[in-house]
Amino acid sequence: MAETLIDTSVLTADAPRQEIVVATVADLAAATRNTALLRDTSVAGVCHSAPDSRLGVLVVEDDCVSAELLANSLECFGYRVTVVEDGLEAFELVRTGDYRMVVSGWEMPEMTGAELCRRIRQRDWSRYVYFVLLTSHNELGHIVEGLKAGADDFLTKPFQVEELRARLRTGERVLSLESRDVMLFTLAKMTESRDIETGMHLERMREYCRILAEELSHWTEFKSTVDGEYIELLYLTSPLHDIGKVGIPDRVLLKPGRLTPEEFEIMKLHTTIGGETLAAATSQHQDARFLTMARDIAFTHHERFDGKGYPRGMAGRDIPLCGRVTAVADVYDALTTRRVYKPKFSHQRAREIIVEGAGTQFDPDVVKAFLRREQEITEVARSMDENSAAAMPVPAMKAAMA
């Protein structure tokens, strides 16, 4: 006789009366195989004409009970969920680029969760895929192996709904940071696109900033300020130093040759235009440290240590450190690349100018950091010069070499 699985006729009087559902084990097993593992909310119940903007989460789990529970929770949290039961199929789906997050079991047919993660990390995807591995309490060794494979987070079975939600929200924050980073650099590149002569200026100078800040992070007097987060923020925001140039007229910004004093006064406005624009954004998002730093850099990267810079004539350590570091990085790159108003200087000549400017134009500590990491800085300059040449179209390269 077939076994009854669910008989909702025994529901209590308090619960809504429902139709009696009777199914055999075989029926449900078949139904489970055929449907539960192919659950895909990107199709079900969604209008095909409108793109589904929900974040795509891929659940990879050969245990259909856990998969169903995970998928239900994730859908309720607002994600678009697809469930597959093996790693190979999951890898193919990740390749489509439709999924920003993967929640994967450990032991699965064809490919383990760790192996799936490893394969995802081995490829150079255009966007980061956040990977959560499901583990058991007594399998701590899996955590080490999972971390080595590149997993971002872990969820213990049996999972708790609130923990699942919290871990996925963490993943969302990580992914949004990636979006933020890309957006920041895109903004900076937009500014640079008006002034194509500077080539890979932004890429080089953010590397110089990183190197200088890393050096300072080892010094006792800077340790409390310059930590890993500071270095990362400086790397991210230093390319925005000239964002105010969007407000400078072409006749000044693109003028071949030296600027007249009047034109120079106009050019100097880029610091206040950029700084005030970012200050307005900062006032709306006061917790966003990257905006604060970007604002400070835009305002102060032309200030001088002796107080003779612009726009405010700030002096010494009144100038934020990020501005003092960016000043050295910006000038060094300007010196070592060709501009309409000057030839390309050698590293030695640029070094002399930077050293001469210690205590007047530049913070002596930052200059000292520059000298300590000189070799690394020249290596960045050299490698990015080669990259720039390799990426340059032939006519542009000929023009540059002429």
Partner 1 sequence: MIQAQTEAATTVVDVDELLSRCLGNLEFAERIIAIFQARCSTDLEQLEEAIDQQDLQRVAAVAHRLKGACANAAAHPLCERISQLRQAACANALDDVTARFQEVQDEWAHFVAAVPELQWKTDG
Q: Which residues bind partner 1 (CB under 8 A)?
A: 3-8, 10-12, 14-15, 18, 23, 25, 28-29, 31-32, 36, 62-66, 68-69, 72-73, 76, 105, 107, 134, 136, 157-161
**Cα–Cα dist 327/302, whole Å:** 6
Write the single-letter amino acid at 219. Answer: W
Contacting residues for 361 by C-beta, under 8 A, at least 6 apart? 304, 305, 306, 309, 327, 331
Name which of 134 and 209 has its Cβ closer to partner 1.
Answer: 134
Q: In this structure, are residues 290 and 314 in contact, taking their beta carbons and an 8 Å threshold?
A: no
Residue closer to partner 1 (CB basis): 49 or 138 = 138
The type of residue at 334 is: A
CB 109 → partner 1: shortest distance, Å?
8
Whichever of 113 and 239 has its CB closer to partner 1, that residue is 113
Q: How far is the CB of 41 from partner 1 (least distance, A)?
A: 14
**Strands of the 101-104 sheet, one edge to the other:** 80-84, 56-60, 101-104, 130-136, 153-157
Shortest Cβ 165–partner 1 spacing (Å): 10
Instruction: Identify which of residues 62 and 214 has a Cβ nearer to partner 1 in the complex.
Output: 62
What is the distance between the alpha carbons of residues 199 and 227, in angstroms, rounded to a whole number?
A: 30
List the Cα angle 172/230/173 in 5-degree steps.
5
Measured CA to CA, the distance from residue 331 to residue 335 in angstroms comes to 6
For 116, the token pair is 């799936």
Nearer to partner 1 by Cβ, of 31 and 399: the residue is 31
Structural element, H or E, at residue 130: strand 130-136
Shortest gap between Cβ of 99 and partner 1 (angstroms)? 22
Residue 65 to residue 46: CA distance in whole angstroms: 24
Nearer to partner 1 (CB atom), residue 163 or residue 352: 163
Smallest separation, CB 174 to partner 1 (Å): 25
CB of 129 to partner 1, least distance (A): 23
